[in-house]
Amino acid sequence: MVLHHKILNYLAKRQQPEKLYHSVAPVVIHPFYHAVCEEYTPHIHSLYKPKNSREFEADLDFLLRHFQPVDAHQVFEYQVKCRPVEQNSFHLSFDDGLREVYEVALPLLQQKGIPATLFINTAFVDNKELFFRHKAALLVDRWRQKPPSPATQKEIDRLLSVPYSERDQLDEAAALLEVDFQDYLKKNKPYLTTEEIKALQQKGFTIGAHSIDHPRYAQLEKTEQIRQTLDSCAYVKKTFNEPKTFFSFPFSEDDVPDSFMKAIRPQVDLSFGIRGMKIGQEGRLVGRIDMEKKGKDAQDTINQAFLKYKILQILLSYT
């Protein structure tokens, strides 16, 4: 698997975008981000490396050179109504409802005329609660202020591996480390407020749901998967009056059964995952491309996604 990724990375860096992207029928790609950060952000940087405004703008400029921007409602027409895709396009989205989307990303998107979708966790809106992974990152940040040692690294690794079902451990650790999550929420306001989300809506964003409090669905019972999904979607529809219901899986759609997709279908118009480019445009589940992964620039990331897509097409043609 490691060799596979190394080969793919090597090949991706040597592809000419124009030739590669036009070697398949026109498609819609779905790049996604969480935040665009100008400085070190304690609740984020131990989890992944967000791009700054310069890097994000470079990504946008690259996408605009090769793809036409579309919104979530146009994606619905392509995916569900089977409207033909006439030219390569992209639909941009953000997960988790972080305030940097409003403060840093929005001005650049408006300047360049790019619509986007924001997927929110309903428990975090208005900074009511802190995502358990953001709690872990804050605790790791505190540990990294201590002298490096094997014991320190072991504790950092432990905190970063705490699952959703055992998230109470993070509150216990916070008490020992004197980290006040409520104070952090109050002072730093990491998440968007209801009014800010409505302002984003007025400026071209579509609002979708991202579950209640961001569990990993593969670790939940089906009934809880459905509750997390439908309750968050109902909140978005009621609060923001969106005409269609869009949902993105927290973490990943991996190991989510087909029976779950059938159960939510009457109330969810379209779902979004993270599996990259998906073969075939029909269906209620869209694959997205992680633009923050390993700090790659847009060309390497999109090239790699297209190469995977082409390889899969070739393999399927022999089955």
Domain ranges within the chain, ordered by starting residue: 20-41+52-130+197-317, 132-189
CATH of 20-41+52-130+197-317, one of 3.20.20.370, 3.40.50.300, 3.30.300.210, 2.40.50.140: 3.20.20.370
Question: What's the confidence (pLDDT) of residue 12?
Answer: 81
Question: What's the confidence (pLDDT) of residue 319?
Answer: 61
Q: Which whole-number Å values give the CA distances from 41 to 49, 134, 183, 251, 261, in the listed order?
A: 10, 10, 16, 20, 35
What tens digit of pLDDT does each residue of 200-256 get?
999 999 999 999 999 999 999 999 999 999 999 999 999 999 999 999 999 999 989
Residue 280 has pLDDT above 70, yes or no: no
Question: How high is the mean pLDDT of the chain?
Answer: 94
Could you tell me where the beta strands, DSSP code E, fall in 30-98?
A: 31-33, 68-69, 89-90, 92-95
Q: Considering only 77-81, 169-173, 180-184, which range has the smallest mean pLDDT?
A: 77-81
Residue 281 has pLDDT above 70, yes or no: no
Average pLDDT of span 130-157: 96
Share of the chain above pLDDT 90, in %: 85
Better-predicted residue by pLDDT, 165 or 2: 165
pTM equals: 0.95
Among residues 166, 265, 261, the alpha carbon closest in space to that of 216 is found at 166
Average pLDDT of span 2-22: 81
Among residues 248, 259, 231, 250, the alpha carbon closest in space to that of 287 is found at 248
CB burial string 290-310: b at 16+ within 10 A, e below: bbbeeebebbebbbbbbbbbe
Average pLDDT of span 27-42: 97
pLDDT classification of 1: cutoffs 50, 70, 90: very low
pLDDT classification of 3: cutoffs 50, 70, 90: very low
pLDDT classification of 278: cutoffs 50, 70, 90: confident
Question: What's the confidence (pLDDT) of residue 293?
Answer: 83
What tens digit of pLDDT does each residue of 105-138 get?
999 999 999 999 999 999 999 999 999 999 999 9
Question: What's the confidence (pLDDT) of residue 121?
Answer: 98
Question: What's the confidence (pLDDT) of residue 130?
Answer: 98
What's at 276, amino acid-wise? G
Cα 282–Cα 284–Cα 288 angle in degrees, nearest 5: 90
Question: What's the confidence (pLDDT) of residue 315?
Answer: 77
Say how far apart CA 312 and CA 137 lie, in whole Å: 36
Number of Cβ within a 10 Å radius of residue 50: 22
Question: What's the confidence (pLDDT) of residue 228?
Answer: 98
Better-predicted residue by pLDDT, 75 or 2: 75
Better-predicted residue by pLDDT, 268 or 315: 268
